[in-house]
């Protein structure tokens, strides 16, 4: 992954040729995009029909959980639901001590985020460690905005429902429609340990976790201090774009910002020109299908551009949907773009000046 991100940009000035190659159609890409579109559309129909909150989160989970093979999607889905359940349970336990006590809740957020980022580096299945810390930290970050413990518990349990059913739906659709992967690719050697070889000896893992925690908590404290919680995407940005080296992190940040601009522009166009004329869920489903097709096509590409597709979907869904209904408030589009830009700037500064890591370019001949 290190070499992929650092060498992702075209060396010469042929950007159009590079982009054309990255967006070239393949049969597998068409199938994966169709599965993603179907999953996002079904999430919109189910959430709006049954009034399940967090529609935007459910729709985005389709993109997050969809992988290039049935096996990877199943592992991601099952592992994600298990970690999600543990994370929601852990944050409910923490709230017994931190609700109404920001002097305990804020350090608890920082500790959870640090552990999650550290686990993302030392676990063989790093994304599961990341998800655990992220769920706990983000759940703790909204504590002061909920007026009562009962509403807080209800909201967290509904969040589990919104995420779990979307992940389950994604796994089922992929198992049904993705083509079978060749046996040789499916049966890869299984790791013998849960931890990487240098888990307890390499200080870079701790440095990485500290940098991400510092950047994210700085953004959180700033937007809470100025009472602008609408830019909370800054906190999310700091955690999602962090990679092993400074170059990787900055390139991923660029993909996130480009995807955010495109997704925000699509959401702005939809809110201003399309949604005022929509009277039924059928018209909304068509809009979601079109946006999901664009984001899904990019997201199913190579690692050079796939993250931009995820961010395009993130920006579009979170700008258009609030709760389980469409939203026509343009302030949400502005706030999310500002939050993402703020998070990018803070993360770039931290990774450039504090314990900078250089990319480890692996020799292509040895692969």
Write out the two tokens for 193: 């340990």
Is 22 inside a domain boundary? no
Rounded Cα gap, residues 27 and 13, in angstroms = 29
Q: How is residue 293 annotated by DSSP? A: H
- Measuring CA to CA, which residue among 357, 243, 246 is closest to residue 303? 243
Residue reference for tokens 């699509």:
266
Contact status, residue 271 vs residue 319, Cβ threshold 8 Å: yes
Contact status, residue 141 vs residue 99, Cβ threshold 8 Å: no
First to last CA, the chain: 13
Q: What is the mean pLDDT of residues 243-267?
A: 77
94: how many CB neighbours lie within 10 A of its CB? 20
Contacts of 210 (CB under 8 A, 6+ apart): 114, 355
pLDDT band at residue 360 using 50, 70 and 90 as cut-offs: very low
Is 74 inside a domain boundary? yes
Q: What is the pLDDT of residue 296?
A: 96
Is 137 inside a domain boundary? yes
Rounded Cα gap, residues 120 and 317, in angstroms = 26
Is 118 inside a domain boundary? yes
Contacts of 284 (CB under 8 A, 6+ apart): 44, 48, 275, 278, 326
Is 325 inside a domain boundary? yes
pLDDT band at residue 198 using 50, 70 and 90 as cut-offs: confident
Strand segments (E) across the chain: 321-322, 325-326
Write out the two tokens for 50: 């049954």
Is the per-residue pLDDT at 6 higher than 50?
Answer: no
Q: What is the pLDDT of residues 214-226, one digit of tens each?
A: 999 999 999 999 9
Q: What is the pLDDT of residues 126-169, one digit of tens each?
A: 778 888 888 899 888 887 788 888 999 999 999 899 999 999 99
**Residue 154: domain span:** 27-180+203-359
Q: What is the pLDDT of residues 95-130, one digit of tens each?
A: 999 988 889 999 999 999 999 999 988 987 777 888
Note the Cα 284 to chain centre separation in Å: 23
Is 267 inside a domain boundary? yes
CA angle 173, 59, 21 (to 5 degrees): 75
- Burial (CB count <10 Å: 0-12, 13-18, 19+), residue 103: exposed
CA angle 352, 355, 357 (to 5 degrees): 75
Rounded Cα gap, residues 154 and 134, in angstroms = 19
pTM: 0.83
Is 61 inside a domain boundary? yes
* Angstrom distances, CA of residue 8 to CA of 251, 255, 259: 8, 11, 16
Contact status, residue 329 vs residue 50, Cβ threshold 8 Å: no
Write out the two tokens for 325: 């209904």
Please count the structural domains in the chain: 1
Is 17 inside a domain boundary? no
Q: What is the pLDDT of residues 174-191, one digit of tens each?
A: 999 998 766 544 555 566
């Amino acid at each position: 992954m290190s070499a992929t991100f650092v060498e992702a940009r075209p060396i010469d000035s042929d950007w159009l040729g590079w982009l054309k190659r990255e967006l070239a159609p393949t049969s597998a890409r068409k199938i994966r995009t169709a599965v993603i579109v179907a999953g996002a559309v079904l999430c919109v129909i189910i959430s709006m029909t049954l009034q399940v909150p967090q529609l935007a989160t459910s729709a985005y989970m389709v993109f997050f959980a969809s992988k290039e093979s049935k096996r990877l999607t199943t592992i991601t889905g099952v592992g994600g639901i298990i970690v999600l359940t543990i994370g929601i349970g852990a944050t409910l336990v923490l709230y017994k001590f931190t609700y109404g006590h920001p002097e305990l809740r804020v350090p608890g957020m920082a500790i959870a985020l640090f552990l999650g980022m550290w686990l993302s580096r030392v676990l063989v299945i790093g994304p599961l460690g990341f998800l655990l810390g992220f769920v706990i930290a983000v759940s703790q970050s909204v504590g002061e905005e909920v007026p009562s413990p009962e509403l807080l518990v209800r909201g967290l349990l509904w969040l589990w429902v919104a995420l779990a059913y979307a992940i389950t739906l994604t796994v089922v659709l992929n198992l049904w429609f993705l083509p079978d992967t060749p046996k040789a690719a499916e049966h890869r050697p299984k790791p013998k340990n849960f931890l990487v070889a240098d888990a307890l000896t390499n200080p870079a893992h701790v440095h990485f976790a500290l940098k991400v925690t510092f950047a994210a908590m700085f953004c959180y404290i700033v937007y809470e201090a100025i009472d602008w919680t609408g830019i909370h995407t800054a906190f999310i940005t700091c955690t999602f774009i962090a990679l092993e080296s400074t170059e990787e992190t900055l390139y991923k940040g660029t993909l996130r910002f480009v995807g955010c601009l495109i997704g925000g522009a699509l959401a702005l166009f939809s809110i201003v020109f399309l949604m005022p004329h929509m009277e039924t869920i059928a018209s909304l489903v068509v809009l979601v299908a079109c946006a999901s097709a664009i984001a899904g096509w990019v997201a199913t590409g190579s690692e050079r551009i796939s993250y931009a597709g995820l961010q395009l979907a993130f920006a579009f869904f979170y700008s258009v949907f609030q709760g389980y209904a469409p939203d026509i408030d343009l302030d949400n589009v502005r706030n999310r773009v500002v939050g993402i830009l703020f998070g990018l700037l803070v993360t770039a500064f931290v990774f450039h000046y504090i314990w900078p890591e250089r990319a480890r370019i692996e020799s292509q001949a040895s692969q």
